[in-house]
Amino acid sequence: MSSVDLNAVLLAVEKAAPVEAVEAVTRTIGLSLDALWVSFLVADMSGRALVRLVHVPIGDVPGARRQDEDIAIVLPFDGGPQEQALRAQQVLVEQTGDHFVVRAPVTQRGEAIGLLELALPTAPTPAIVQRVSRAGHTLAFVVIANRRHTDLFEWGQRTTPFTLAAEIQRRLLPASFTCEADSFTLAAWLEPAASIGGDTFDYSLARDLLHLSITDAVGHGVHSALTATLCVSGLRNARRRGGTLLEQAQAANQALIDNPQEKSAFVTGLIGRLDLRTGVLAVVNAGHPVPLLVRNGAALPVALPVNRPFGVLREKTYRATQVELRPGDRLVLLTDGMLERAAAALDLLSRLQHLSGLHPRELVRVLGDLVLDVAGPALPDDACLLVVDWHGGHGDTRHTSGGADPDRASTPHDG
């Protein structure tokens, strides 16, 4: 977009209420491109659909959800151009009758927030396609900024109701499940059990460090979610105070011991700190399943010394070990819901080798679908994944287009 267009977008955002910001922006974009119509579709929380949010004062839309005067229309992925544009992170143009539909990913740092669609009366030039791509990237920031002030977007994304335990668990997860940076690409996913199992993942990017964790609280339901809250909050509090990895582990342990939710409540977990300058990952294994490493086409478990789970013993110290990543490595952290009971039929090591060409954002979605196929549709335990692709080259300029690195995207037909 030109600077004039960007100024118009920012003005429209500030003048509109948070629930109307996206509509104000899409209207501005449509007018600037002489579009016949324009719309925004938000990515469904399940990762398996797009949701069209429409403000309709009167009338009913069959099959849609309604809240006050807002309507959410779910469009399940079917392999068509909407899904392909989002998966491949490409602007796609389709002629439909006497007009041309342009679909652009709405993405920021690899997080696929949704899709911008607009119809043009004539075939778009490469310059117009580029403008639409930039408009989609701009719209991503608008959604991120305004969803802090309203539940509208999250309501639209929730195609299934949340229990209280699920609500607590959701608040423990980071705001974005995907992050692309110079030296790494990260994505994570959580398939919740029928009764929430207390799994979480987390990450935070510092100047030269990537902090990450995956945890699994014992039990199910609200008590498990509250136990997970103490653990994750202990980790975050120590991290934000500048604590070392071992201090973070000790803080999580102390939080659980000092504030017991129920008898024998504990949390297993892996917490790590990746040095982005060297690729060396310092990691503490607190009684958790070991990570998996995909290197040179082979997937193998990573042997780690095992510490006690968080919340078991007050005084005993934790030990860290180091894993040295090489450019091209893929590290997979997971919870036992990906490995035990019926999920064991997944043959995860073989799947990781077969799916090595997928972007982590797509990999975790596909593996989530596969777990549901073999152990669902109602999982007995949460299944959680955190995937890190290590590229090296920290501090180099990242190659991006419209909020994503096209060289790291899955091809339109992968997965």
- Domains in the chain, please, with CATH? 3-157 (3.30.450.40), 164-390 (3.60.40.10)
What pLDDT is recorded for position 56?
67
Across the range 73-102, mean pLDDT stands at 93
Position 165 confidence tier, pLDDT thresholds 50, 70, 90 = very high
Of the candidates 151, 265, 162, 281, which has an alpha carbon nearest to the alpha carbon of residue 216? 265
Q: Are 266 and 253 in contact (CB under 8 A)?
A: no
Position 190 confidence tier, pLDDT thresholds 50, 70, 90 = very high
Looking at 3-7, 39-43, 372-376, 406-410, which range is the least confident one? 3-7
Does the structure show a pLDDT above 80 at 397? no
What pLDDT is recorded for position 415?
45
Of the candidates 291, 287, 304, 282, which has an alpha carbon nearest to the alpha carbon of residue 252? 287
Cβ neighbours, 10 Å, residue 128: 18
Query: Who wins on pLDDT, 8 or 196?
Result: 196
Helices (H), 263-359: 348-354
What pLDDT is recorded for position 300?
95
Tokens (6 digits) for 49: 């659909």
Does the structure show a pLDDT above 70 at 218? yes
Return the percentage of the chain with pLDDT > 90, whole number. 69
Question: Which region, left, alpha or beta, applies to residue 155 given φ > 0 means left and ψ of -120 to 50 means alpha?
Answer: alpha
Q: Are 230 and 259 in contact (CB under 8 A)?
A: yes
Looking at 101-105, 167-171, 266-270, 372-376, which range is the least confident one? 372-376
Q: Are 108 and 114 in contact (CB under 8 A)?
A: no
